[in-house]
A and B are shown apart, each in its own frame.
Chain A
């Protein structure tokens, strides 16, 4: 039982129809854990997605939450409208590298600029799975397809892009790293702004071969975590033993605490975009996949506040709330 009296099984969804061994299924599991452990009521959640393998996954968790599997590349604007219609909704969006990095890239950038409160996860495998294995825009230059075709184009680093767009929460993780990803999602749930997590999630069918830089093996070999992290609930009495190393604590909006422990000599601050970009760039240059929380700005204004919206959700306003002034120059 969690803090609102629900069991973990209350957070599951339909049986996955993805390939056995797909990284996305692991991410689904971590989402279930994070929402269960955070004590979020599924009734208050809306699960959003675009089109692609990743976009199918909202069907596989939180059955009792409303969901919207929309159209390719449009998860961002649909979520923007959904959030503004009811700012009490807790949105989680699952997209892919094609959905967000190519067809929906423009809208992704603009969602970040607006700071739409939602958990925005990209399940990133560098490949179009549902159309059987074409390169996506996050595939590394020089990496190859199963057929041997080499990618001649530079790749888009979604985390770098997100930081440039002013995203207030930017992280990267690996589908196989529950220890890191679950706390990241839990912190993302608490964030009042767009919480972007780029999750490297290998495609077992089309990008798990030698030459792919996002295969299970390649990821394990090149993974480098910036921090170890965890979330301590305000209700928890558990004392965390951080162990050796420099640690840093951040209070989250619900009073819980996000703790981060530096794992290597890399200097890092959570609200320093230039430094974050440097860390990301250097890792890229060294062929590493760096993970962790890169950027966090808890003071960024959520969109409803930027717009000065009424507290009552727009979807619940009625004739009385909309009653017009009877201007004599307009009305009989």
Chain B
């Protein structure tokens, strides 16, 4: 018998909708569905729930973890320390136990032969005879293995007081349409729930104080963030699915790709959502080609974009590197194209199933020569949808490559967001000239800057007009697209492309600014300020970072970058904090402060005071670690 320490707080309310639950399993064991059911049942309760799947680059047999988080203020980002651990994998138990906090609760499979030395005396633990519980549910050994996972979902749901209706809804949604699967899984769920009632319902509150509880929605206009959501108006979706739906909404009709983690689900999602959302009674309105490699994938997109289809590809780091030459062609020949780069941990093959914001510089300057690309940084699933949709408008308006930079955390983990606005906006096809336009024009010159914004007129192949044709080339060209080695012509063209890139600043999504003020207890206490810049998937953790810093007595001015090139608002933010000498931090998930490099290049005088907070271990950004590092920096050098 293990001695339980009695170190718990007796404040029950501290544990309502406030815990981190960590499930350690083996991949390929069916735990993914079980974990999602648990996550979605909390969603159906109307709770802002976060889920992170940490998985290996492997199909079956290696360790995998799933973390579910609830917080009264609705924080869904990663927190390293766990309250509840479900240990199903003997291979990782020793290491997994280290993450459990003092007073935490361990639920483990009784079949794990556990070294008594390993069991920490400062945690509560309970072993469950999973095998016995599923014994009567099926005669298939394989199925019983899968059902074990539903047993722990049943146990946890009972312990956390999740209403049965919510669990049932999540379960039937997960296996939608497969009645017998639903039935078997429900039986396993009930076996777990019954077990918990019989053996664990008497647990003292200090041992298992955690509860999931329905709470009212915050009144409109309320400033405090809350754990409550309206599930009817919300989505629990991964960023890749949201991007895929955005691409379907944005009129993408051509997609080519080469499978690569973590972007494959974006392209598979595109096919399946296009199938579900579009009318295909006359035939498919989209072509999807699984290419021979990423070079071909982007080249096909360029070919399709040249002819006038809205075209995209999706990839991750290694694929992006392969696309470099074609990216330069799209930039220089000025052909609309969209690349979704779902970043994973590099360099090289790196950690294919871990997250990083490591491709910022590679994407911005992808290809040789003076090449630059428009980048979009969606920060949540709503922006994944929106930026995917508008990326085609931007690519056609600017006649260039647009790279949407998501990452594995945003792309593959389930995130909460509002349901999408139904798209009604017309497409911006940019400066395409048709028969009538050509008729009115005295002359058509493909690369002549008629409007002064660096963007020229473009005709599409199969425009049956004597003025329409031009010879597209990646070689040096004059205004009429003729081959030219003339130094002046070459220089002028590069200058125009720069002008076009400046025009992009006005068209891309603006950075968002949020100021949070510390309210001093006494009138004398004067709070100090800090300015923060972050982007992409870091957005999720930044709410918590801000609250944490405000709680420490700091006023926070936070700018979330959403696109490159940077707009006027970024310059203003930097100027203001430069003048006020506010400590300025740029938070990134890479080693080399890649976004700060871009900021320094764009604003050499303004960005040089910035300091970097960098996390690059392949795990999603952890708010507490960021807040702590900022405080430490301020102590050392205010």
Q: Taking beta carbons and an 8 Å cutoff, which residues of A are in contact with B? A: 41-44, 46-47, 58-59, 63-71, 74, 76-86, 88-89, 106-107, 109-110, 114, 304, 307-319, 321-327, 329-332
Contacts and interface: CB of A to CB of B under 8 A. Distances in A.
Contact of B427 (A308, A319, A326): A319
A324 B278 contact: yes
A308 B283 contact: yes
Contact of B299 (A42, A78, A310, A323): A78
B468 A77 contact: no
Given A70-B472, A323-B278, A324-B248, 15 more contacts: A64-B469, A67-B469, A68-B303, A70-B474, A74-B296, A77-B291, A78-B300, A78-B302, A81-B254, A83-B303, A85-B309, A110-B292, A307-B284, A331-B419, A331-B420
Interface stretch (B9-17, B112-120, B455-463, B557-565): B455-463
Given A64-B466, A81-B300, A319-B251, A71 B325 contact: yes
Given A77-B300, A107-B296, A319-B426, A67 B286 contact: no
Contacts of A308: 283-284
Interface string B302-336: 11111111010000000000000110010000000
Contacts of B420: 330-332
| Cβ-closest 6 pairs across A and B | A81-B303, A315-B308, A310-B283, A81-B300, A85-B309, A85-B307
A43 B464 contact: yes
A81 B469 contact: no
B183 to A, nearest CB: 24
19 contacts: A42-B469, A66-B471, A67-B471, A70-B302, A74-B295, A81-B299, A81-B302, A86-B307, A86-B308, A304-B287, A310-B285, A318-B251, A319-B251, A319-B426, A319-B427, A322-B285, A325-B276, A327-B277, A332-B233
B282 interface: yes
B256 interface: yes
B34 interface: no
Contact of A317 (B248, B285, B422, B460): B285
B469 A89 contact: no
Contact of A81 (B311, B459, B471, B473): B311
A315 B283 contact: no
Contacts of B422: 324, 326, 331-332
A330 B419 contact: yes
B466 A315 contact: no
A324 B52 CA distance: 31
A314 B462 contact: no
Nearest to A304: B287
Contact of A78 (B279, B286, B303, B418): B303
A329 B241 CA distance: 13
B421 interface: yes
Nearest to B328: A71
Given A110-B296, A315-B308, A331-B420, A79 B303 contact: yes
A84 B279 CA distance: 19
Contact of B284 (A114, A310, A316): A310
Contact of A84 (B233, B245, B289): B289
Contacts of A88: 462
B286 A314 contact: yes
Contacts of A80: 256, 289, 296, 300, 303
B280 to A, nearest CB: 8
A136 B303 CA distance: 26
Contacts of B506: none
B483 interface: yes
Contacts of A79: 303
B235 A330 contact: yes
Contacts of A78: 299-300, 302-303, 306
Contacts of B233: 332
Contacts of A330: 235, 245, 419-420
Interface in B253-304: 253-254, 256, 276-280, 282-289, 291-293, 295-297, 299-304
B464 A44 contact: yes
A85 B304 CA distance: 5
B22 to A, nearest CB: 29
B465 interface: yes
Contact of A59 (B304, B462, B483): B483
A308 B274 CA distance: 14
B298 to A, nearest CB: 8
A197 B301 CA distance: 26
B36 to A, nearest CB: 16
